[in-house]
Amino acid sequence: MKIFIAGKMPDIPKLRFIIGIIVILFCFNILVWIAVFQVSQPRLLKVVFFDIGQGDAIFIETPRKTQILIDGGPSGKVVEKLGQELPFSDRSIDLIIATHPDKDHISGLVEVLKSYQVGLVGTTGIKGLSGEFNEFTTEIENNGSTEVILKKGQKIIIGQLAIEVFAPLESFEGREVNDTNVSSLVLKAVYGNNSFLLTGDAPQSVEKKLVQEDISSQVLKVGHHGSASSSSDSFLQKVNPEFAVIQVGQNNSYGHPAEEVLERLEKYGIMVMRTDQLGDISFLADGQRLLKD
């Protein structure tokens, strides 16, 4: 049977034009839906306290995938941990920060500098006395990273995330000191109403000065792996955290965390989370609520 179509058929160039318009509109429609989907996604900040044994290593990833590592722990284990967080193709970290030059904080950073392209390296500018510190300095150069000396009162702004520098209280730039813990960077990561206080190994003498500042935070990375030399009563009262994370190795020779610090944390009703007991400890923050990952 023959089929007849009444009316005048559009000529071919006109038909192509109409199809072209339809295709453009269709693509535009898809782009709009992708944008709507992205806006409706919760914009989450991820903070992971790695279980890397006796030492600190804290990974932060912003919703736009800016990656930050604060301290690297005592060994290359941190590279393994980063491999779990980053896609295989991602071989770069935007910012690493060394709170102070002790082995249990910078040895892992040396391995990170060997394995990843690192944009910025935040330090106090202190001169370390150890072989590890020399290696750290060499690897910053080899990596081609830019070293930034962080000072009290500065803020690192990455989108909605602000990392405020509260200590060291004085400049350690170019200095060699025996008590490196005093030189520790103390940082507060603020994301909307969520906040994390990262204290390195800062001792009570530093805490005493910090209680005059706005250090209140939802999560406290307990100073010096739970040593009795940190976490004074007045400091814990001022920070007033919901969670206290202790980055500590199993059966460590220092006896960290100290029983008296655990008792103090309990006294103030702070939930204690230890990497030696729980492994990696992750939080997701949406600027309002804090979710345990």
Residue 276 interacting with Zn ion (CB under 5 A): no
The reply to whether 132 sits near Zn ion by the rule CB under 5 A is no
190 vs 210, beta carbon nearer Zn ion: 210
CB of 105 to Zn ion, least distance (A): 6
Question: 39 — alpha (psi -120 to 50), left (phi > 0) or beta?
Answer: alpha
Sole window of 34-42, 57-65, 88-96, 198-206 interacting with Zn ion (rule: CB under 5 A): 198-206
Residue identified by tokens 């903070």 is 47
Minimum CB separation of residue 49 from Zn ion in Å reads 13
Q: Which is nearer to Zn ion, 190 or 206 (CB)?
A: 206
Interface stretch with Zn ion, choices 83-91, 107-115, 194-202, 232-240 (CB under 5 A): 194-202
In the bound state with Zn ion, the residue whose beta carbon lies nearer, of 54 and 217, is: 54
| Distance separating alpha carbons of residues 99 and 178, to the nearest angstrom | 15
Produce one character per residue of 195-222: b if its CB has 16 or more CB atoms within 10 Å, e if not: bbbbbbbbbbebbeebeeeebebbbbbb
Cβ 99 to Zn ion shortest distance, Å: 8
Residue 201 lies near Zn ion (rule: CB under 5 A)? yes
Q: Is 164 in the site for Zn ion (CB under 5 A)?
A: no
Cβ closest to Zn ion, residue 274 vs residue 290:
274
99-118 positions binding Zn ion, by CB under 5 A: 104
Residue closer to Zn ion, measured from CB, 104 or 164: 104
Which range binds Zn ion by CB under 5 A, 59-67, 82-90, 96-104, 230-238? 96-104
**Which residues bind to Zn ion, rule: CB under 5 A?**
104, 201
